[in-house]
Structure 1
């Protein structure tokens, strides 16, 4: 196999779980077979091919087999049946503190992990300063790892996995304890890793993180591969499965939204060249195309942009009558062009609704349109601050 390639062919993995562990002969005799050994199949007949340079997310509920699959690919455990192949060197961060000796210093753990990956002492020393600087542990690198906080441990583990020349990077909930600043640095390093042709497998329950990082997603359900394809479709299926499992009500109560006198048809985000796209760099122009139908009086189109937490970021009310609506039933296509968007970083949801002249709801888009924005530099925050500095007087006058 070429470096960076991953092949999983018909893999199944079985575990034997006992209700009560027995460690001595006496405990075994007292238990008299009441240990309750049970077979649990974490994975069943999973096949997956990942090419060099791909970033693939693994999504699914707890117990669906995501972490087990990563451990099989990392070579930590063996499959019960099937075959797993990985080309090149594998860097992994599968759980907090995994691979660290708590009594070794951070420096010693970097050297140990590098040696386990087959790197020479000289090569480890070449990358050492870069690893420490990224982890922001200059002040603590010679302290035992057991004295580190969870965040410090995660930063060091990620830095080692990302900077020690791996061909494949396996990440399991790597951002679970990271703050916003750490996440931004991680995304930058991972983007550079991808550009160099590195392969990434990423497990997370944070759908927005999977959408920002991955080009493709695999949905696992009850240990089986349920879907392999576009990230947005995988996330949609994942959320739908969760709703079915919890008997949650369908959006809008399962019925049509609004009176239906006018409808929102095709809605899509596009790049400057007109091609459909959901992901944009900060400041990159984009457009929104909306097709409306109906034969009622000119409705008002209501647009909202919200961040991942539901905070309203922007809102717009569009009078369709001023843009060509004539109510003849043939429909109206509208396009919003945003030449210099202020959004800096994050996942945003665009919601659309049509309102009548008396404020009644005519139609509402059943699902938000996802908009993913990547940072283009070191600036921070939700939006870009556009402005021009100039000299001013001491009394505050312009």
Structure 2
């Protein structure tokens, strides 16, 4: 199967003025003398998307993924390199892109259709489908400058999927709108996938990437740094985030503070008082690393599975290089296909970890695990309370096995009590 999109050595450089004239007069006088700094949004990026493939582009804000999507869409021209696309292309870039704010929704549908090469008669044939999907019947003759972001997303997506695209480009639009509309969009994306359409999307929604993408590429400071399966790419993406927040490698064993492990009550979140005067590392420079992630089954350490509805303990060992008070622990559970089943944090549960120092362990106790037969994967993250800094993370670090005794089928376990009420 050939490539629907080919990206060959693409670089994009923007000129950023180092001086800001304060008036029109100064701007004219200093014309030609203003110094510019080169900003490399993309650096020698190359990859291909096969026909019928769905690929996500991941990366921190400013990493270059949206710039590349615009280059593929043709709204930006690369400074170097070339891009080849094969087939009709429809793009959903940032909200409002391709819409004229002073035109109505109806007029913008015809405007977008003409840009894509459709005649008025051809747009007439798909107009009702576009309006029905967008659910904007009552607002279609309103100027779009009065639309909310959700209404923009509805109309933009409805136009893009109904112009029969061979290639669909999507930039975060699937994350806008209410939950029902998001599901509707994802259902339509799956339909396009079944029809063999090619999809290139930008998203921070890693759950969505796992669900619908065949592969993903990761960008960091304009460079393509990883390409692979969704789970592997998400792990690489999170590694780039950790590096950006100043994450350092774990301390060597001989340099670690070997304070005995501290038992933290998983219910109260209480821990023994630690003398902050004993700290030798300032908190701003301190970090905390995950030492181990361990599942403990209800039947004991020698057990290798559990039954639906039984309790489970997840033990997270850590090693802190100094006293840290801005810290929270997060846990996510996934099935083997990478779909997240649950996620929570010590802060969300209001079981706050007041401080960590040296070596310790945080225990998440699940009284009732409502899962059926299967293997389930565990991801653990240690971060600041606001989530802005990730100290450490382990994706799919451990797993647990649930074995179904055959009392029910499905994914989720519901305890059932049966009563028989009858009369003769």
TM-score of the superposition, structure 1-length normalised? 0.67
Counterparts in 2 of 1:366 and 1:45: CA distance versus 1, 3 Å: closer
Aligned partner of residue 208 in structure 1, secondary structure:
helix
Which residue of structure 1 aligns with residue 85 of structure 2? Answer: 86
Which residue of structure 2 aligns with residue 125 of structure 1? Answer: 124
Q: How does 1:222-261 map to 2 (within 5 A)?
A: 222-248=221-247, 253-254=288-289, 256-257=291-292
Which residue of structure 2 aligns with residue 177 of structure 1? Answer: 176
Q: CA deviation at 1:176?
A: 3.8
Aligned partner of residue 395 in structure 2, secondary structure:
coil
Counterparts in 2 of 1:23 and 1:51: CA distance versus 1, 3 Å: farther
Which residue of structure 2 aligns with residue 330 of structure 1? Answer: none
1:60-108 per-residue CA deviation (whole Å, 9 max, x = no partner) reads 1111110110111011121111111101111011111111111211111
Counterparts in 2 of 1:384 and 1:193: CA distance versus 1, 3 Å: farther
1:205-237 per-residue CA deviation (whole Å, 9 max, x = no partner) reads 222222222110000111111011111111101
Q: CA deviation at 1:238?
A: 1.0
Q: CA deviation at 1:245?
A: 2.0
Which residue of structure 1 aligns with residue 395 of structure 2? Answer: 367
Q: CA deviation at 1:26?
A: 2.7
1:3-42 per-residue CA deviation (whole Å, 9 max, x = no partner) reads x700111111111111346698732355587733111111
Which residue of structure 1 aligns with residue 373 of structure 2? Answer: 338
The 8 Å contact of residues 307 and 349 in structure 1, kept in 2 or not, is answered as no
Which residue of structure 2 aligns with residue 298 of structure 1? Answer: 302
1:178-202 per-residue CA deviation (whole Å, 9 max, x = no partner) reads 2211110110010111111111111
Which residue of structure 1 aligns with residue 188 of structure 2? Answer: 189
TM-score of the superposition, structure 2-length normalised? 0.63
1:99-140 per-residue CA deviation (whole Å, 9 max, x = no partner) reads 111121111111111111111222212211111111110111
Supply the distance in 2 between the matched residues of 1:44 and 1:207 (Cα, whole angstroms).
24
Name the Cα RMSD after superposition.
4.1
Question: Which structure 2 residue ranges, 5 or more long, are not aligned?
Answer: 251-286, 306-311, 315-332, 334-340, 350-364, 381-392, 400-410
- Structure 2 residue 335 is the aligned partner of structure 1 residue 307: no
Aligned partner of residue 166 in structure 1, secondary structure:
coil
Counterparts in 2 of 1:49 and 1:366: CA distance versus 1, 3 Å: closer
Supply the distance in 2 between the matched residues of 1:366 and 1:61 (Cα, whole angstroms).
19
Which residue of structure 2 aligns with residue 168 of structure 1? Answer: 167
Which residue of structure 2 aligns with residue 156 of structure 1? Answer: 155
Supply the distance in 2 between the matched residues of 1:242 and 1:10 (Cα, whole angstroms).
25
Supply the distance in 1 between the matched residues of 2:51 and 2:398 (Cα, whole angstroms).
27
Q: CA deviation at 1:172?
A: 0.7
1:36-64 per-residue CA deviation (whole Å, 9 max, x = no partner) reads 31111111111111111111000111111
The count of residues paired between Structure 1 and Structure 2 equals 312
Question: Which structure 1 residue ranges, 5 or more long, are not aligned?
Answer: 265-289, 291-295, 319-335, 342-347, 353-364, 372-381
The 8 Å contact of residues 67 and 172 in structure 1, kept in 2 or not, is answered as yes
Supply the distance in 2 between the matched residues of 1:297 and 1:93 (Cα, whole angstroms).
52
The 8 Å contact of residues 6 and 47 in structure 2, kept in 1 or not, is answered as yes
Supply the distance in 2 between the matched residues of 1:223 and 1:176 (Cα, whole angstroms).
23
Supply the distance in 2 between the matched residues of 1:84 and 1:202 (Cα, whole angstroms).
16
1:349-377 per-residue CA deviation (whole Å, 9 max, x = no partner) reads 6469xxxxxxxxxxxx9534799xxxxxx
Q: How does 1:20-169 map to 2 (within 5 A)?
A: 20=19, 26-28=25-27, 31=30, 35-169=34-168
